[in-house]
Amino acid sequence: MPEDLNELMKRHSAGATVVPKTPFSDIPTYRNSSPLDPDFLKKWVIPFYMKILNSVEDVKFELKAIKPHVTDSVVTKLLGDFNWRTRSTGAYFSGILNLQDKIELIGNLFLKSEVCYAGETYAIVLATLNRDAAVEYFEKYLDYYLTCPQYYFEQDIVLAGLKTLTATDISYNFHRFQEMHLEYKKSQGLVPDLDRYVERFNRMRKEIEEIRSF
């Protein structure tokens, strides 16, 4: 198999199904110097990554039990691996451990959108770690990605998150992003369904906060 094709297949498996060139592409982020060990993945990733996407109800006990054993090194390795499964899990652990020092790394990964599926977890974790930082990252994300109808990324749930986080701020101009979102959906031939994403955002955020408080 040609080397470039093999690399492309590896990236696709990792979640890099689209390789966008964006204003955020050159933001530096931490990257591991070597692949993660299979036993490491079996312990920290495999039991959790699919549940994070849907509902962690089935693994709440396991997450609460494992929480005291999740170190900063484990989280850094997970976030530094080029794969949506590891990055999602690393971000989630950052949320349940309230790792404030991971906000910038998660925020930059969120803006870069290098791998699919992980963006939703990044957004929800940012919202649990720091409301003001999350709003800033959400604004940057939406200002760019809502102008890109070719990208079916996390625009819906990020807008839902922004709506939730700014709901009590009567001076906040949420309408601007709502109008951008409407045009974004029109360009795709779709109708906005924001309420569904608000519900999902709030449910997932509450799950993180519950496990964190355990």
Domain boundaries, the chain: 34-213
Query: DSSP label at 58?
Result: G
Taking the whole predicted model, whether its pTM rises above 0.75 is answered as yes
The pLDDT tens digits for 190-201 are: 999 999 999 999
9 within 8 A of 17, measured Cβ to Cβ:
no
The ranges of the chain with pLDDT < 50 are 1-16
Q: What number of other Cβ atoms are within 10 A of residue 91's Cβ?
A: 30
The b-or-e profile of 133-159 (16+ CB within 10 A means b, else e) is bbbebbeebbebbbeebebebbbbbbb
In sequence order, which residues have a C-beta less than 8 Å from that of residue 138 and are 6 or more positions away?
Answer: 123, 126, 158, 159, 161, 162, 165
pLDDT of residue 55: 86
